[in-house]
Chain A
């Protein structure tokens, strides 16, 4: 009965690789988000989709490409990974003002 789920939970990869993180929500929400939490625990929004349409793009490098195949899924693809991409990535969904978060994906770029 998980509300917002993410896979994988951990991701260790080399610089220059391409990787994807998947997110699914079973809450029936229309809006989904990606947030990045850096090593100092600071959380910042990256993207938001509403009904499969991109509505927020917070000056994220274009190596990051979100994709929403349907309103229950929002995936994040990252090209040419860099050391600075190491972080925890959180997916969230909302219907209205309250956002519900997934467990996070811990990405480590070596």
Chain B
């Protein structure tokens, strides 16, 4: 079955430090991959997506992610974290649903805390 794994439940970094959030997926075909961010008490905002082409994708708020097919990974990175980046981050993959319609499968999320 298709699945998304985020190995790190909770990560703490210092403001200004670099960040990498890990995501591994299990999906037979070429995946459509996403990272969403959920700030406390807020909805989900799309950070970036990968469909095809260049395996390094740029997103909003200075985030980027790299698709590595050989490792079934889609890790999210940011060179310098800001205190406002503290949030829950979700990796997701679109998989085929009933009748050819697609649905999002989410990882369990990684909670990012930022120390001043």
Contact = CB atoms under 8 A, between A and B. Distances in A.
B56 interface: no
B99 interface: yes
B103 A48 contact: yes
A50 B101 contact: yes
Interface in B26-56: 32, 34, 36, 38, 42-46, 49, 51
A44 B106 CA distance: 7
A55 B32 contact: no
B84 interface: no
* Binding site secondary structure of chain B: strand
Interface string B78-94: 00000000001010001
A31 to B, nearest CB: 7
A40 B104 contact: no
Interface residues of B, number: 25
Interface residues of A, number: 25
Contacts of A99: 46, 104
Given A55-B98, A56-B97, A97-B51, A45 B43 contact: no
Given A41-B109, A44-B106, A100-B46, 5 more contacts: A33-B104, A40-B108, A42-B108, A97-B32, A101-B44
29 contacts: A31-B101, A33-B103, A33-B104, A35-B104, A40-B108, A41-B108, A42-B108, A42-B109, A43-B90, A43-B109, A48-B97, A50-B101, A55-B97, A55-B98, A55-B99, A55-B101, A56-B97, A56-B98, A56-B101, A58-B103, A90-B44, A97-B49, A97-B94, A97-B102, A99-B46, A100-B46, A101-B36, A101-B44, A104-B43
